[in-house]
Amino acid sequence: MTTEPRPDSDAIENLLREERTFAPSDEFVADALVRDPSIYERAASEDGFRAFWTDEAKRLDWMEPWEDLYTWEAPYAKWFIGGKLNVSVNCLDRHVANGLGDRVAYFWEGEPGDTRTITYADLLDEVCRFTNALRGLGVKKGDRVAIYMPMIPELPVAMLACTRIGAAHSVVFGGFSADALADRIDDASCSVVITADGGYRKGATVALKKAADDAIARTSSVEHCVVVKRTGDDVAWDESRDHWYHDLVDGQSSKADPEPMDSEDLLYLLYTSGTTAKPKGIMHTTGGYLAGVSATHRLIFDIHPETDIYWCMADIGWVTGHSYIVYGPLANATTGIIYEGAIDYPEKDRWAQIAAKYRATILYTAPTAIRALMKYGADAFADDDLSSLRLLGSVGEPINPEAWAWYWKEIGGGRCPVVDTWWQTETGMVMIAPLPGITTLKPGSATFPFPGVVADVVDEGGRSVPLGGGGYLVLERPWPAMLRGIYGDPERYEQTYWSRYPGRYFAGDGCKRDEEGYYWLLGRIDDVMNVSGHRISTTEVESALVSHPSVAEAAVVGRTDPITGQAIFCYVILRSGHEASDELGKELRTHVADMIGKFARPKQILFTPDLPKTRSGKIMRRLLRDIAEQRDLGDVTTLADANVVSAIRDQSGKGED
Residue 498 amino acid letter: W
- Least Cα distance to 326 among 280, 358, 294, 291 occurs for 294
Stretch that binds ligand WTA, among 29-37, 99-107, 316-324, 629-637 (CB under 6 A): 316-324
- Give, rounded to a whole angstrom, the gap between the first and last alpha carbons of the chain: 19
Using the rule CB under 6 A, is 365 a contact of ligand WTA?
A: no
Measured from the CB of residue 26, what is the shortest distance to ligand WTA in angstroms? 27
Asked if residues 56 and 80 have their Cβ atoms less than 8 Å apart, the reply is: no
Q: Is 612 in the site for ligand WTA (CB under 6 A)?
A: no
Q: Which is nearer to ligand WTA, 398 or 436 (CB)?
A: 398
Residue partners of 580: CB distance under 8 A and separation at least 6: 574, 607
Q: Is residue 284 near ligand WTA by the rule CB under 6 A?
A: no
Number of residues that bind ligand WTA (CB under 6 A): 23
Residue pair 167/213 in contact by the 8 Å Cβ criterion: no
Decide: is 538 part of the binding site for ligand WTA (CB under 6 A): no
Conformational region of residue 288, where left means phi above 0, alpha means psi within -120 to 50, and beta covers everything else: alpha
301 binds ligand WTA (CB under 6 A): no
Interacting positions 243-272 with ligand WTA (CB under 6 A): 272
Nearest residue to 608 via CA among 548, 557, 651, 657? 651
Q: Which of 397, 527, 540, 626 binds ligand WTA (CB under 6 A)?
A: 397
Given the rule CB under 6 A, which of 72-80, 93-101, 142-150, 391-399 is the region that contacts ligand WTA? 391-399
Residue closer to ligand WTA (CB basis): 354 or 521: 521
d(CA 589, CA 629): 20
Tell me whether residue 390 or residue 534 sits nearer to ligand WTA (CB atom). Answer: 534
Residues 401-420: x/- map of binding to ligand WTA (CB under 6 A)? -------------------x
Contacts of 466 (CB under 8 A, 6+ apart): none
425 binding ligand WTA? (CB under 6 A): yes
Q: Give 157 or 159: the residue with its C-beta nearer to ligand WTA.
A: 159
Q: How far is the CB of 526 from ligand WTA (least distance, A)?
A: 9
What are the residues whose beta carbons fall under 8 Å from the beta carbon of 240, sequence distance 6 or more? none
For 428: left if phi > 0, alpha if psi spans -120 to 50, otherwise beta; the answer is left
Verify binding: residue 368, ligand WTA, rule CB under 6 A: no
Among 166, 258, 317, 398, binds ligand WTA (CB under 6 A): 398
Interatomic CA distance for residues 311 and 363, integer angstroms: 5
- Return the range that interacts with ligand WTA (CB under 6 A); candidates 95-103, 303-311, 313-321, 381-389: 313-321
- Site membership for ligand WTA, residue 423 (CB under 6 A): yes
Cβ proximity of 565 and 397 under 8 Å: yes
Is residue 48 within the footprint of ligand WTA (CB under 6 A)?
no
- 470 part of the interface to ligand WTA, by CB under 6 A: no
Of the pair 177, 421, the CB lying nearest ligand WTA is at: 421
Does position 361 bind ligand WTA by CB under 6 A? no
Whose CA is closest to 341, among 143, 507, 500, 112?
Answer: 112
Is 446 among the residues that bind ligand WTA (CB under 6 A)?
yes
421 contacts ligand WTA (rule: CB under 6 A) = yes
Contact 333, 359 (CB under 8 A): no
In DSSP notation, 136-191 reads HTT--TT-EEEEE--SSTHHHHHHHHHHHHTPEEEE--TTB-HHHHHHHHHHTT-S
Which one among 84, 230, 512, 535 touches ligand WTA, defined by CB under 6 A?
A: 535
CB of 235 to ligand WTA, least distance (A): 30
513 touches 519 (CB < 8 A)? yes
Largest Cα separation within the chain, whole Å, is 74
CB of 570 to ligand WTA, least distance (A): 21
Q: CB nearer to ligand WTA: give 120 or 422.
A: 422
The least distance separating ligand WTA from the CB of residue 44, rounded to whole angstroms, comes to: 23
Q: Which of 205, 154, 206, 209 is nearest to 175 (CA)?
A: 206
Least Å from the CB of residue 360 to ligand WTA? 21
Q: Residue 141 forms beta bridges with which residues?
A: none
Residues 110-169 close enough to bind ligand WTA by CB under 6 A: none
| Interaction between residue 439 and ligand WTA (CB under 6 A) | no
Give the strand pairing for 470-475 and 115-119: unpaired
Sketch the per residue contact string, 505 through 524, with ligand WTA: x for CB under 6 A, - otherwise. Answer: --xxx-----------x-xx
281 binds ligand WTA (CB under 6 A): no
**Amino acid found at 514:** D
Of 119, 361, 365, 424, the one binding ligand WTA (CB under 6 A) is 424
Site string for ligand WTA, 479-508 (x = CB under 6 A): ----------------------------xx
> H or E stretch including 370?
helix 367-376
What mask of x and - would describe binding to ligand WTA in positions 318 to 347, judged by CB under 6 A?
xxx---------------------------
Residue 335's nearest CA partner among 32, 60, 97, 102 is 102
- 315 near ligand WTA (CB under 6 A): no
**What pairing do the DSSP bridges indicate for beta strands 534-537 and 604-607?**
unpaired
Burial class (CB within 10 angstroms; exposed 0-12, middle 13-18, buried 19+) of 137: middle
Between 524 and 548, CB nearer to ligand WTA: 524
Task: Indicate which single residue of 317, 328, 396, 558 sits in contact with ligand WTA (rule: CB under 6 A).
Answer: 396
Phi, psi of 485 (to 5 degrees): 155, -175
As measured in angstroms, the least distance from the Cβ of 530 to ligand WTA is 6
- Contacts with ligand WTA by CB under 6 A lie at 272, 318-320, 395-398, 420-425, 446, 507-509, 521, 523-524, 530, 535
